[in-house]
C-alpha cells in the first residue's frame, strides 16, 4: 500500500512539474484542456496554441450578456491560427476593421526548454482605447522565452459591444461586458493553465493603454477578481483615473439606439437584431473624434467604486504592482491630429492649451513655453503627457495611483524614456520621443498596428529580465539598478 501511494504521489508530482504538451505524429504539440484536446504549432523555441475559445460566441441573446463557457468539442481542435479580432472600425489609417462577433478566443505560448517546476504565467491584455486592437498584433514568443513563462493573451468585446452602457442592459454589469470577457479568460487560465505547465497560483496580469486600464478595473473589483491574479503590470494607465458613472455613460447607449431607430418597449430586442456593421457605424457617429466615449463605467458590480475612492479606502485587490508609462505619452495623439491636418504652430499653441486647460492656459504656458521645445507640437504633447484631465494617459495620474496604492501594497514606478524608439506611426514632422506604445516593439518583436504589416524586429528591452523576476516569487525589483527605471 505504501509503495502504491508513493507511486501515485510521484505521478502526481510529475504532472505538476512537467508541461503536459507533447508532440503528435506530425510533430505539432498537443494538450488536453477542460474543453477538449488542442493541436498547436511549434516555432522559434515555443509551443503556441492560438484561437482557443474561452467563451461562447456573444451573438443573439448573448449580445450584451455575461460571457458563457464555450462548449466542449470532440476530437482534436486545430489551434494553429489566431482567432478573429472582435468587431471594430479602422482607426488612424492604421488598424483594421472587423465585423466578426464570434471572437472570444485566447492564445497560450510556452517555451520548449525543460522546466523543473510550474512556470509563472503572464496574462497580457491588449490596448486600443477600448474600441480596437487584437491579440494577433502581439507576438508572444519573445516574452515567453525571456521570462521563461507561460504567456496568455485574449480577445474581448470592444466599443459598442463591450464598453457601452445602456438604460436597457443588465444593471449588475451594465457597460462592463468587455471586462467580464477578460475575467472569463482569467477563470479559464485558473482551470486550464496547469495543462500547459503554468502555475495557476502565480499569475501576473499585464497590459498597456486600455489593456493597462483593464488591469486597473480588475484590481478595483475584489469581489469578482480576487485570486485570479497575483501581480499586476500597468503600462500607460492610472487606476485613479476618473471614469463616468453607469448613469452618465448610459446616455451614449441611448444615443446609439436613437441612431439605429430602436425605440419603444423592445429596444434591446431591436439592438440585438441589428447587423454588426450598422452598430459599428452608429457607435462611430456617436463617438465622433473623442477617444473616451467608450470607457468603463463605475457603479455596477463590474467596477463598484471610482478608482480613487477604492484605492483610498483600501477596497481593491492587494497584489504587488509595477506602474508607469512613457516619457512623451501624448505626443502620439498630437501626431495623429497633425496627420489629420490639425497642426500645432506658435500662433495657435495657446488656443490648443485653452481648449483643454481653460482659464489656466496662461499658467501652463509659463511652465511650458513653446520655444523651450524643439517644436510647438512637441511642447503640446509634453504638456498633455504630464497631465491632461480628460484622458487617463498622463504621468500625474500614474503618480497619484502609486501614491494611493503604496499604502497597502508594494508599488514599483517605471518610465520608458528611449529618445529614439521604434516608430509606431508615420513621421508627423516633429520630434516624437518615447510616445505612447513605443515600448511595445521591444516586448513584442514584429509588433505592428495591423496584421497587414510586419513591424521591425528589435532586441528585447532590458526590462524583460525585470518582468521575469517580477513574475517569479518572491518579487525582487530591487535587484535591478535605479537606471533601469528610466530606460
Q: Tell me the catalytic residues.
A: 209, 329, 436
Judge if the upstream peptide bond of residue 474 is cis by omega within 30 degrees of 0.
yes
B/e letters for 199-213, b = 16+ CB within 10 Å, e = fewer, are bbebbbbbbbbbbbb
Residue in the block written with cell 529614439: 420
Distance, in Å, from the CA atom of 84 to the CA atom of 191, rounded to the nearest integer, reads 24
How many other CB atoms sit within 10 Å of the CB of residue 28? 18
Residue 313: burial class (beta carbons within 10 Å; 0-12, 13-18, 19+): exposed
Is residue 384 within 8 A of residue 391, CB to CB? The reply is yes
DSSP states of 206-258 as a string? EEETHHHHHHHHHHT-HHHHTTS-SEEEEES--TT----BHHHHHHHHHHHHH
How many other CB atoms sit within 10 Å of the CB of residue 125? 28
What's 86's DSSP letter? P
Is residue 482 within 8 A of residue 463, CB to CB? The reply is no
Question: Which residues lie across from 234 on neighbouring strands?
Answer: 207, 323
**What is the end-to-end Cα distance of the chain in Å, rounded?**
59
* 239: its cell numbers: 487606476
**Tally of CA atoms within 13 A in the half-sphere of 179 that contains its CB:** 30
Nearest to 152 by CA among 120, 129, 118, 181: 120
* 200: its cell numbers: 495557476
For β-strands 46-53 and 105-111, DSSP reports them as: antiparallel
Question: Which residues lie across from 233 on neighbouring strands?
Answer: 206, 322
Is residue 136 within 8 A of residue 451, CB to CB? The reply is yes
Distance, in Å, from the CA atom of 221 to the CA atom of 205, rounded to the nearest integer, reads 14
DSSP states of 351-389 as a string? HHHHHHHGGGHHHHHHHS-GGGSSSHHHHHHHHHHH--T
Amino acid at each position: 500500500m505504501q509503495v502504491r501511494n508513493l507511486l501515485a504521489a510521484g505521478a502526481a508530482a510529475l504532472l505538476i512539474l512537467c508541461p503536459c504538451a507533447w508532440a503528435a505524429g506530425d510533430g505539432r504539440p498537443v494538450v488536453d484542456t477542460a474543453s477538449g484536446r488542442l493541436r498547436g504549432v511549434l516555432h522559434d523555441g515555443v509551443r503556441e496554441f492560438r484561437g482557443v475559445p474561452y467563451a461562447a460566441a456573444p451573438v443573439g441573446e448573448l449580445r450584451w450578456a455575461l460571457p458563457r463557457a464555450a462548449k466542449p468539442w470532440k476530437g482534436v481542435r486545430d489551434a494553429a491560427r489566431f482567432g478573429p479580432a472582435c468587431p471594430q472600425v479602422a482607426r488612424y489609417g492604421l488598424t483594421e476593421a472587423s465585423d466578426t462577433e464570434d471572437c472570444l478566443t485566447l492564445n497560450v505560448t510556452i517555451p520548449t526548454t525543460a522546466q523543473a517546476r510550474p512556470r509563472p504565467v503572464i496574462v497580457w491584455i491588449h490596448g486600443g482605447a477600448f474600441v480596437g486592437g487584437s491579440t494577433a498584433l502581439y507576438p508572444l514568443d519573445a516574452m515567453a522565452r525571456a521570462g521563461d513563462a507561460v504567456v496568455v493573451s485574449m480577445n474581448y468585446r470592444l466599443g459598442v459591444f463591450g464598453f457601452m452602457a445602456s438604460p436597457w442592459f443588465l444593471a449588475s454589469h451594465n457597460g462592463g461586458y468587455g471586462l467580464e470577457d477578460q475575467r472569463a479568460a482569467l477563470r479559464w487560465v485558473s482551470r486550464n493553465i496547469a495543462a500547459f505547465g503554468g502555475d495557476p497560483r502565480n499569475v501576473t496580469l499585464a497590459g498597456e493603454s486600455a489593456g493597462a486600464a483593464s488591469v486597473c478595473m480588475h484590481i478595483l473589483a475584489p469581489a469578482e477578481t480576487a485570486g485570479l491574479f497575483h501581480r499586476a503590470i500597468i503600462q500607460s494607465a492610472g487606476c485613479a483615473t476618473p471614469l463616468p458613472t453607469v448613469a452618465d455613460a448610459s446616455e451614449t447607449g441611448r444615443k446609439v439606439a436613437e441612431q439605429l431607430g430602436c425605440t419603444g418597449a423592445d429596444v434591446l430586442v431591436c439592438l440585438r437584431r441589428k447587423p454588426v456593421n450598422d452598430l459599428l457605424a452608429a457607435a462611430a457617429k456617436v463617438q465622433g473624434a473623442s477617444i473616451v466615449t467608450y470607457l468603463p463605467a463605475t457603479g455596477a458590480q463590474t467596477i463598484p467604486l471610482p478608482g480613487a475612492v477604492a484605492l483610498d479606502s483600501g477596497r481593491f485587490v492587494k497584489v504587488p504592482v509595477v506602474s508607469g508609462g512613457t516619457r512623451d505619452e501624448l505626443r502620439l495623439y498630437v501626431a495623429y491630429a497633425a496627420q489629420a491636418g490639425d497642426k500645432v504652430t506658435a500662433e495657435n499653441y495657446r488656443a490648443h492649451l485653452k481648449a483643454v486647460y481653460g482659464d489656466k492656459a496662461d499658467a501652463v504656458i509659463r511652465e511650458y513655453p513653446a520655444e523651450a521645445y524643439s517644436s510647438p507640437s512637441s511642447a503640446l504633447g509634453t504638456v498633455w503627457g504630464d497631465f491632461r484631465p480628460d484622458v487617463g494617459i498622463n504621468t500625474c495620474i500614474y503618480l497619484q495611483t502609486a501614491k494611493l496604492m503604496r499604502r497597502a501594497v508594494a508599488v514599483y514606478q517605471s518610465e520608458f524614456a528611449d529618445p529614439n524608439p521604434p516608430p509606431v506611426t508615420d513621421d508627423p514632422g516633429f520630434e516624437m520621443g518615447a510616445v505612447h506604445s513605443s515600448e511595445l516593439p521591444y516586448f513584442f518583436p514584429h509588433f505592428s498596428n495591423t496584421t497587414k504589416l510586419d513591424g521591425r524586429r528589435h532586441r528585447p528591452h532590458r526590462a524583460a529580465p525585470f518582468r521575469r523576476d517580477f513574475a517569479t516569487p518572491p518579487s525582487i525589483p530591487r535587484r535591478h539598478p535605479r537606471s533601469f527605471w528610466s530606460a
